Amino acid sequence: MQTIRLKHLAAIRWFHWINFPLLAAMIWSGLLIYWAFPTYSLGPIHFFPSWVYSTFHMDHRLADGMALHFFFMWLFAINGLLYVLYTWVSGEWRYLLPRKRTALRDAWHVLLHDLHLRKAVPEQEKYNAAQQIAYTAIILMGAGSLITGLAIYKPAQLNWLTELLGGYQVARMLHFDLTVLYVLFFLVHVQQVLAAGWNNFRSMVSGWESRDEREKRPAS
């Protein structure tokens, strides 16, 4: 029998969807800044060849980048902090944190299941163990971006923080690496959302999910 149930609270949906354009603005403006001193590469692959900047009109826009980055960072931080506070107060953190001792093994089984290499899937509540690990990691990454960002934003005033992180160069690299990880998370996240289907996506927009009571595992 099909039933409808509330899956995502309104506040969580707002925080989630507000975060998306904010993160996009942070990455975009961050790249405008990175253009001025593009030092990183992964072996022979450089972040990024100059044609990338010229094609997307991202070159010679350091001042724009800084202005946008230092404006949107406040919104990104406030939205993120309110989200964490809300999950705490509402008790939603219970669904998000991997609390079972078998979380790693369960996440591995979810992965094998998604790759069609395993039939059975572990019992789950709102999120499976792989989602719990990914969502907890992304929240910690958000905190990491804020901390490393502060360390390279005010390395003189906050020099204790910059030093704690291993110095300016290390803090800058960590800040950049976190951005790469966001992009990877985003690609996997959207792929998973596409694979889970319309019902799952709609629940993050409207809050409601339709569910087949005979199903053991919610479609997510």
For residues 160 to 189, the per-residue mask of contacts with ligand HEM, x marking binding by CB under 6 A and - elsewhere, is ----------------------x--xx--x
What is the rounded (10 degree) CA torsion for 187, 144, 162, 155?
Answer: 70
Which residues have C-beta within 8 Å of that of residue 110, sequence separation ≥ 6?
Answer: 121, 122, 128, 129, 130
Check binding of 16 to ligand HEM (CB under 6 A): yes
Check binding of 20 to ligand HEM (CB under 6 A): yes
| Interacting positions 98-127 with ligand HEM (CB under 6 A) | none
User: Which range, of 11-19, 26-34, 111-119, 150-158, touches ligand HEM by CB under 6 A?
Assistant: 11-19
Quick one: tokens of 59? 């070159």
Which residues have C-beta within 8 Å of that of residue 12, sequence separation ≥ 6?
Answer: 83, 86, 87, 92
Q: Shortest gap between Cβ of 185 and ligand HEM (angstroms)?
A: 6
DSSP 167-209: SHHHHHHHHHHHHHHHHHHHHHHHHHHHHH-HHHHHHHHTSEE
Which residues have C-beta within 8 Å of that of residue 83, sequence separation ≥ 6?
Answer: 12, 15, 16, 19, 139
Residue closer to ligand HEM (CB basis): 19 or 162: 19
In the list 78, 188, 190, 195, the residue contacting ligand HEM (rule: CB under 6 A) is 190
Check binding of 198 to ligand HEM (CB under 6 A): no
| Interacting positions 43-102 with ligand HEM (CB under 6 A) | 87, 92, 96
Residue closer to ligand HEM (CB basis): 29 or 220: 220
Residues of this chain that bind ligand HEM (CB under 6 A): 12, 16, 19-20, 23, 87, 92, 96, 135, 138, 182, 185-186, 189-190, 193, 200-201, 203-204, 220
